[in-house]
Structure 1
Amino acid sequence: MPPAKPLVLGLVLLLGAAGLWQAYAWYQARYIRAFSDQPTLFSGEPLRLPERLAGPGPIRLVHFWDPACPCNVGNQQHLAELVERFADQGVKFYGVQKPGSQGQLPVTLQAMEPLPALPGSEQLPASPAVAIWDRDGALAYFGPYSEGAVCNSSNSFIEPVLEALRQGRRVTATHTLAVGCFCAWQNAEP
């Protein structure tokens, strides 16, 4: 009987390792698949604010998001921190949901004004993405919130842009090349 114990123990360890590998493969396919090591080019040339928001006014930040994109999880926490920090400092926040998608922003972001698809947003390469217009109504920034697999204030492009605009400095960063966690905005052709 003693030789059976090591055999059973080995079998249990083998089954446990196989289960862990299966769980990791599922997690990677479900949540890490969106992270791409291929650069994504964000070009803001075609983007326009709706007529009622165009022209001089407050600094306007537009959040582009897809409810089905797993990259939104960390991004939305960061966005909630941005809203909390900058909403009382002259920045207006808006959200554009991927056309045809179903979902809602978390409670912490539901104060953002929803917008229909912006003129030019059909050419968006990926989301989550952000566009920021300055007080003169000029597009100052278009691109991702950050580069890399996760987004937070320590690796974000957004805080420095908003701070510069609040201080009256000009920002022109409407073309951004980044590697990160993104989901395609346009639906693939069948």
Structure 2
Amino acid sequence: MPRPSPKTLLVALLALAWLGGMLLAYRWFETRYLRPFDERAAVFSGAELRLADELAGPGAIRLVHFWDPACPCNVGNQQHLAELIARYGPQGVEFHVLQKPGSQGRLPAELAALKPIDALPGSAGLPASPAVAIWDRQGQLAYFGPYSEGLTCNSSNSFIEPILEALAAGRRVDASNTLALGCFCDWAEPSDG
């Protein structure tokens, strides 16, 4: 059996080193940026949730998007949220965003219409994101929970369109406590101990 040439050995070692480097890079990327997209249950209770003083009281229908820039579950709802803004913004619905405290990130350009708010009383206890809260024209919390149930979000499985349609028609909605199964990321940091 002939011996491989030094050039062949070098190419084989480089290929092996490249493969090892790619596996290490993928593992680093996976642990740093990818989280499993397994469904989990979350209980959303709006008992403590209030509009900030500058938004409270009678006015427009107000939707607040709870956004964690590091959450991979956002990918499924950002296009849907942009569609909601395009459809209901001209009808007078106000769209706001509350970014997870301590997080860093910028919204995609198609969500530039979201007005940032610094704080929302009661939001520290938010179980998970992405989530949404909707207040009616009288300033009462009408809905608090996820955009939809399941791993993806679009207008065909969304809870939001029927609620906005009912509120726009002047009907009362009270869905401020919900249980949902879907793709969520923790909002509050896990406590030590």
Deviation at 1:104, TM superposition (A): 0.8
Q: Which residue of 2 aligns with 1:8?
A: none
TM-score (norm 2): 0.82
Contact 2:52 2:119 in 1 (8 A): no
Structure 1: which 4+ aligned runs deviate by more than 2 Å? 25-32
Contact 2:37 2:151 in 1 (8 A): no
Deviation at 1:137, TM superposition (A): 0.4
Amino acid aligned to 2:62: R
Deviation at 1:123, TM superposition (A): 0.4
Amino acid aligned to 2:191: E
Q: Deviations over 1:128-184 (max 9, x none)?
A: 000000000000000000000011111000000000000000000001100100000
CA RMSD across the alignment: 2.3
CA distance in 1, matches of 2:86, 2:61: 15
1:72 maps to 2:66: no
Deviation at 1:189, TM superposition (A): 2.1
Cα pair distance change 1:170/1:28, threshold 3 Å: farther
Q: Which residue of 1 aligns with 2:128?
A: 126
Larger radius of gyration: 2
| Gapped regions of structure 1 (runs ≥ 5) | 1-21
CA distance in 2, matches of 1:156, 1:71: 15
Contact 2:85 2:113 in 1 (8 A): no
Q: Which residue of 1 aligns with 2:165?
A: 163
Amino acid aligned to 1:96: L
**Residues 10-49 of structure 1 correspond to what in structure 2 (within 5 A)?**
31=34, 33-36=36-39, 38-49=40-51
Identity %: 64
The aligned length equals: 171
Contact 1:34 1:183 in 2 (8 A): no
Amino acid aligned to 1:47: L
